[in-house]
Structure 1
Amino acid sequence: MGEVTESRKEKRFKKLRDAPKSPIPSSQPKIQKVPIMLRDHKNFDKYYVPRAVAIGPFHHDNPRCKLAQKYKRMLTSKFAEFVGQKDEDLYKKIEEKIKELRECYVKEATEHINDDNLAWMLFLDGCSTLQFIYSLMNEHEEFEIKRDQVAFAQQDLFLLENQIPYQVLELLMSSSDKHEVLKDSIERFVQMHIIVPVEKQSKGQEQEHKVDITENTETKQQEGLTTDTDQKQQPKEPTHLLDLLRKRILGPPKKDVPKKEVGESPKQTFRNVQELSAAGIHFQPSKTNFLGDISFKSHCFAGFLSLPPISVDDSTRPKFMNLIAYEMCPDFQNDYGVTSYIGFLDALIDHADDVKKLRSASVLFNFLGSDEEVTKLFNEIGTDSVPNTAIYLSVKAELEKHYKTKWKTWMSQFCHDHFSSPWTILAFLGVLSALGLSGIQTWYTVHS
């Protein structure tokens, strides 16, 4: 008995000594379920589980997605016809890479599925997804799917547990001369789902974004900013559609922050937009719609906080919640860009009047309903999230500095009280004119 116990103890110590010294995260994580910390959300099924179409292995047997299987076969047939390839040849491309594609998922996702079934699943999901997106983005294409199913399917394509490896899409797209047409459809589809007003999206900006994302590693190498880890961890293509959406929303990566600029996050004493506004801080839309494009400038007693414009509608909550869940995946090395943006916005929005102020500044566009609903939305999304405090460190420091400078607050309050409307300005000018005329009259009286 003692020998058995000793042997067991030795095995435990061997495992302990063989354990890696530190976790090895990756910038291209495996497709996996929503992290355990988020799975107890009261509306989990509503925001993380597909309602119309199941993509990949996690929800393949979901009964409410059964109708979509019929549509998948129809779309796959149309896709083969569109690209001018035999369906068997398209399937073979997936089949030949199935070992590699299996590795795109966590082990528990596919361990119960043999290679043939997994290849067939990815073949159907990949072809139907590409044809769905192409048909949706090209109005001349016949689209024999009901409008409500189309709407739900679009949202389902950006759920963390409903992803297909982008490599599958690339394999299928590269099979014909339609590659660029299909890739352009994907880009336009993702741009359509970026959470900003359509009129604020710039075509030139979109093109700039594409270049910056796909050539990020090469650019950083030229600027001498990459390390060996960067070169290993920076993939040229996205992991999946949700990853592509995240890249497009965040915009080009910023250059590394010099170590001397990194410090502890300043203690925040302001509580919301209204308090900042009372301190003379004005809100305005940023020049781009990238979530990371937040800046602050202080001029005399007035400050200007630039925020990327954002539209809020029924799709905003599930998109942000799945993007945050993606950033929380344990094997995904990232800067928590989306989580940090939500944290920043959550720190500004406490009441419906805060939302109203941002709407007036053309920073926020409310298509959800009341301003109170928008307030609840951001407060809920921001709950339990852990942002990267270094991202907006300088912005928060400048905001806090301006907010705590009392004379700026007093001057701002004075201007607000006396010059907030044309009538008060006219009254002030009238008083100045009266004083001026009175002074002139007195001077003439004395010297005449």
Structure 2
Amino acid sequence: MGDPSKWVSNSIQQKLASLPAVSSNCCIYRVPENLRKVNEDAYRPLLVSIGPFYYNDPRLVGMQQQKLRYLQSFLGRSTSYNLDYYTQVIRGWENLARHCYVEAINLPSEHFIEMVLLDATFIIELFLRGCFHEFIDANDRVFNKPRMILEVTRDIRLEENQLPIFILKGLYDLVFEPSSQNKHLSFLDITYRFFMGKNEDIPSRIASADVRHMVDFLRICYLPSALRAELPTTNKKFEFTSSVTELSEAGVKFVAGRSQNLLDVRFMKGVLEIPRFVVTDDTESLFRNIMVFEQCHYYFDSYIIDYFAFLDSLINTPKDVTILVQSGVIENWLGNNEEVADLFSKLFKQTRLKGSNFYYSTICKDLNAYAGTPWNRWKAILKHDYFNHPWAAISVIYAIVMLILTVLQVVTGFK
């Protein structure tokens, strides 16, 4: 058999020689197993595969015909280029595209190019039809079936179900050539309108961002107005705040903030402003996937993770949710406040928080200081222990009146 050590050495040399290069372009990741186990369904596509991770999944092949129909529509949008030209363009992008995935993609080149072309044109057509309803024909099986468009939208927001955005933008720009002379919307324009449901110009901070893929785009849309570099560097250490119920009893008022940025939370003069948060069936899947991307790609700038860590410390019970619903902070489409409380508890489970750079550290510290001041603490004790029941409140008032009368009687006696 020969020298075993020589055999081991040769085996390792072969593996080293075939080891794929590590690229700085990597931005599409597998979901870590500890997070997947918490809720596997939140990360798996229901109807459509995008990219190589779910390529040829038997559960998803039914959408292949719709992809071909959308490709056919895309090809008809320009007389300047044909199918051969688009495939050659993608061939030129193939190496860079493969390096965007965290693991080596073993698909042969021709299969990879076909997959990218079908998936990219599917997304482009989806966004075009979402923005311009005149493009939707009577036989469109996505937009003419309300449940289909909801599930397809969910699927293209999954971290494992992505294409690099430079491919989508590149193909779109071939058909709708950007220039100062035309009024065509950019690819990021139609992406913003499709996801945000707003028929308005994309904010400049999003339009100028270095976007990697759809999940990255959504993360950028949700970022706070003031980023860490624009804030004071003190008080960055993480500390949990008291619950909504405890803060409310200490006199903190909760109001729905007016900011369009979900993460723009403010606390001033006893008032905690939190932009309105709509909780739907898709909330968990959407934010779980953004949080996975942050864990893998933006660990030191994890704004979304910090936001849900903050909410997780605020929300412990259905009563906490009830207070936030009544104040207009949470709009509950699940119908049950207990489900919402459970959602926030599970959403942060198994997620790693870099506490030394916590975005909401100052707000947490200020909230705890406000709730911990003697006057506010006594108000909380009185409210919790003596004013929870009308008879208890009457007893306290009676005791106070009797005390005042006794003092007056003593003072009068001295006179």
TM-score normalized by the length of structure 1 = 0.73
Q: 1:369 aligns with which of 332, 335, 351?
A: 335
Compared CA separation, residues 264 and 243, structure 1 to 2 (3 A)? closer
Q: 2:205 aligns with which of 212, 216, 219?
A: 212
Q: What's the CA shift for 1:406?
A: 2.0
Q: 1:95 aligns with which of 71, 81, 91?
A: 91
- Aligned equivalents of 1:412 and 1:25: distance in 2? 55
- Aligned equivalents of 1:253 and 1:25: distance in 2? 31
Secondary structure of the equivalent of 2:271?
A: strand
Q: What's the CA shift for 1:259?
A: 7.3
Name the residue aligned to 1:33: 30
Q: What's the CA shift for 1:7?
A: 12
| 1:48-87 CA-partner distances (Å, limit 9, x unpaired) | 1111000000001111111110000000110121244422
| 1:77-115 CA-partner distances (Å, limit 9, x unpaired) | 10121244422222222112211221111233x1x1122
Compared CA separation, residues 5 and 67, structure 1 to 2 (3 A)? closer
Q: 1:249 aligns with which of 222, 238, 249?
A: 222
Identity %: 25
Superposed CA RMSD: 3.1
Residue 292 of structure 1 pairs with residue 266 of structure 2: no
Name the residue aligned to 1:224: none
- Aligned equivalents of 1:156 and 1:372: distance in 2? 27
Q: 1:181 aligns with which of 180, 185, 188?
A: 185
- Aligned equivalents of 2:127 and 2:233: distance in 1? 46
Compared CA separation, residues 395 and 95, structure 1 to 2 (3 A)? same
Name the residue aligned to 1:355: 321
Q: Which amino acid aligns with 1:74?
A: R
Q: Which amino acid aligns with 2:89?
A: K
| 1:336-357 CA-partner distances (Å, limit 9, x unpaired) | 1111111111111111121111
Q: Which runs of 5+ in 1 are unaligned?
A: 13-23, 193-200, 216-235, 419-423, 429-448
Compared CA separation, residues 67 and 202, structure 1 to 2 (3 A)? closer
- Aligned equivalents of 2:85 and 2:195: distance in 1? 28
Aligned residue pair count: 363
- Aligned equivalents of 2:276 and 2:231: distance in 1? 28
Name the residue aligned to 2:48: 53
Aligned pairs for 1:409-420 (under 5 A) are 409-411=377-379
- Aligned equivalents of 2:121 and 2:6: distance in 1? 56
| Greater than 6 Å deviation, 4+ residue runs | 3-9, 412-418
Compared CA separation, residues 266 and 66, structure 1 to 2 (3 A)? closer
Checking the alignment, whether the CA contact within 8 Å between 2:50 and 2:119 is kept in structure 1 is yes
Q: What's the CA shift for 1:153?
A: 0.7
Compared CA separation, residues 311 and 273, structure 1 to 2 (3 A)? same
Secondary structure of the equivalent of 2:60?
A: helix
Compared CA separation, residues 57 and 392, structure 1 to 2 (3 A)? same
Aligned pairs for 1:325-340 (under 5 A) are 325-329=292-296, 331-340=297-306
Aligned pairs for 1:305-324 (under 5 A) are 305-324=272-291
Q: Which runs of 5+ in 2 are unaligned?
A: 13-21, 179-183, 388-392, 398-415
Checking the alignment, whether the CA contact within 8 Å between 1:337 and 1:388 is kept in structure 2 is no
- Aligned equivalents of 1:384 and 1:64: distance in 2? 28
Secondary structure of the equivalent of 1:328?
A: helix
Residue 131 of structure 1 pairs with residue 131 of structure 2: no
Q: Which amino acid aligns with 1:408?
A: N
| 1:115-162 CA-partner distances (Å, limit 9, x unpaired) | 222111111110111101211232222251133222211100001110
Checking the alignment, whether the CA contact within 8 Å between 1:130 and 1:169 is kept in structure 2 is yes
Compared CA separation, residues 379 and 25, structure 1 to 2 (3 A)? farther
Q: Which amino acid aligns with 1:401?
A: A
Residue 86 of structure 1 pairs with residue 82 of structure 2: yes
| 1:306-338 CA-partner distances (Å, limit 9, x unpaired) | 112110001101001111111121x54541111
- Aligned equivalents of 2:300 and 2:237: distance in 1? 20
- Aligned equivalents of 2:211 and 2:151: distance in 1? 23
Name the residue aligned to 1:408: 376
Q: 1:114 aligns with which of 108, 111, 115?
A: 108
TM-score normalized by the length of structure 2 = 0.79
